[in-house]
Structures are given as structure tokens and as C-alpha cells.
């Protein structure tokens, strides 16, 4: 089964109550529930976590190397400030999709810079809670295509045997 890490950054635990005109009325628990449901349909096991602490997010990203095939992250305010999160994502080299509930490029100037986007395979921004579902579908498809390509590359044309990598 495909295992995906989903990370929610600071203040996302307040969704449903916080600035509803920007972030909507859906709670984080409802978003997570929708993600789990779609994950089951897609054959993906999701590990979902939220933290207001940058270091904790970095640790979870690093731990994902061991048993995850990809990451979906809404870094929230850390999008615009955290080189540590960006570097952790680059270091683990897992396909990552960056998600934002609002369109960060239509917001304040300081929110229009993303340190994460440069190391992500995609960014979903401005679709509200359904952006997470789009990210999950896209990431699962991306990982499946990458696995197929990887399998073809590891097959020897002469004998058809697999070359193991360590």
C-alpha cells in the first residue's frame, strides 16, 4: 500500500473558526476525514499530522524517508519563512505537493513567496479544502507513474532481470 505523509502547518488547527472569509468554514478534522476516505479509495495509507512548531514538522519530514512514498504539505505561514522546511523536503527527496487553501498569489505581497514550491512537484493553491483532495489524487498518480518508469529502467534489456539498488 502506498503510504503518504500529510502535514498541516501552524494555525491550521483553527480552521472552521479562523478567518472564514479566507479559509472557509470546514474544520481540519473534516478535511482529514475527507482525505482518509479518498486515500482508501486510491489504496493509499495516510499519516496525517498538524503542528504549530517548525522543528516538529522538519522531524516528521525527515522520518518520512523511512516508510513514505510522498508528502502533501500545507506549510501555512512557514511557506514564506522556513528555509528549514524547504531544506528538509529537498533532503528526503520524496515527491511533495504543496497545498494552500487560499490563492497565495492574490494575497499580501509577503505571502506570494514560497520557499517550498522550488522543491515540490506541484502546488495546489486557491481551491479551499478540495485542494487537498486534488493534491492526493495528483500525488498518487505521480508516484504510480514514477514507479512504472523506475521499473522499466531497472529491467535489463538482455535478461529481463531487475537490478537492485542499495
Provide the pLDDT confidence category of residue 57 given band limits of 50, 70 and 90: very high
* Per-residue model confidence as pLDDT tens digits over 83-142: 999 999 999 999 999 999 999 888 778 778 899 999 999 999 999 999 999 999 999 999
- The phi and psi torsions of 109 (rounded to 5 degrees) equal -55, -40
Q: What is the pLDDT of residue 85?
A: 98
Known catalytic residue: 100? yes
State the average pLDDT over residues 7-15.
96
115 is catalytic: no
Total-model pTM: 0.87
* 149 or 153, higher pLDDT: 149
Q: What domains, with CATH codes, occur in the chain?
A: 2-153 (3.40.50.9100)
Three-class HEC string of the chain: CEEEEEEECCCHHHCCCCCHHHHCCCCHHHHHHHHHHHHHHHCEEEEEEECCCHHHHHHHHHHHHHHCCEEEEECHHHHHCCHHHHHHHHHHCCCEEEEECCCHHHCCHHHCCCCCHHHCCEEEECCCCHHHHHHHHHHHHHHHHHHHHHHHHCECCCCCCECCCC
Among 8, 23, 78, 132, the active-site one is: 23
Question: Does residue 4 register a pLDDT over 50?
Answer: yes
Identified catalytic residue from 8, 36, 53, 100: 100
Amino acid at each position: 500500500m502506498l503510504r503518504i505523509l500529510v502535514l498541516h502547518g501552524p494555525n491550521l488547527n483553527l480552521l472552521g473558526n479562523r478567518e472564514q472569509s479566507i479559509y472557509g468554514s470546514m474544520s481540519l478534522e473534516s478535511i482529514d476525514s475527507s482525505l482518509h476516505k479518498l486515500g482508501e479509495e486510491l489504496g493509499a495509507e495516510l499519516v496525517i499530522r498538524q503542528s504549530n512548531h517548525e522543528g516538529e514538522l522538519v522531524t516528521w519530514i525527515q522520518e518520512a524517508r523511512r516508510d513514505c512514498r510522498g508528502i502533501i504539505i500545507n506549510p501555512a505561514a512557514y511557506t514564506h519563512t522556513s528555509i528549514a522546511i524547504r531544506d528538509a523536503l529537498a533532503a528526503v527527496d520524496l515527491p511533495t505537493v504543496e497545498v494552500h487553501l487560499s490563492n497565495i498569489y492574490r494575497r499580501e505581497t509577503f505571502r506570494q513567496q514560497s520557499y517550498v514550491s522550488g522543491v515540490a512537484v506541484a502546488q495546489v493553491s486557491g481551491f479551499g479544502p478540495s485542494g487537498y483532495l486534488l493534491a492526493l489524487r495528483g500525488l498518487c498518480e505521480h508516484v504510480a507513474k514514477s514507479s512504472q518508469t523506475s521499473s522499466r529502467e531497472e529491467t535489463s534489456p538482455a535478461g529481463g532481470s531487475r537490478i537492485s539498488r542499495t
